Amino acid sequence: MEKNVKVSILCQIYGKMLTNKQYEVLNDYYNHDLSLSEIAENNQITRQAVRDIIKKGENKLFELEEKLAFMEKTLKQEKQLQEILEELSKIEDTSSDKKIAKILEHVREELSCLA
């Protein structure tokens, strides 16, 4: 997974554990696609200060993910759900039993609520 996407997801998961300034700067940089200069100007700080805040924030996010692994677990669960849904579709495609089709549809609906 690309670093920008990873940091953006981690920011959504662990953002409340960052300082307000770290969260704002990371959000501006990764989600609003602002440059270091734009962020520095908006916050009346230097580009180097922005860079330092980004690095400290990234390190904190990666440290939290290493310890808690919420993103890893979530991505794994999403992949497993997708595989289950694909298997259900295969069963549905090969079965002509309406009772089975109804059960499969119910299971699919329940699983889609988890995704």
8 A C-beta contact, residue 50 and residue 44: no
Domain boundaries, the chain: 3-68, 74-114
Banded model confidence at residue 35, pLDDT cuts 50, 70, 90 = very high
What is residue 80's DSSP assignment?
Answer: H
pLDDT confidence of residue 110: 86
Instruction: Give the pLDDT band of residue 8 (cuts 50, 70, 90).
Output: very high
pLDDT over threshold 80, residue 115 = no
Residue in 50, 16, 49 with CA at minimum distance from that of residue 30: 50
| Residue 115 DSSP SS3 | coil
Do 25 and 50 meet the contact criterion of CB atoms below 8 Å apart? yes
pLDDT tens across 81-102, in order? 989 888 888 888 887 888 888 8
CATH no. of 3-68: 1.10.10.10
Q: What type of residue is 38?
A: E
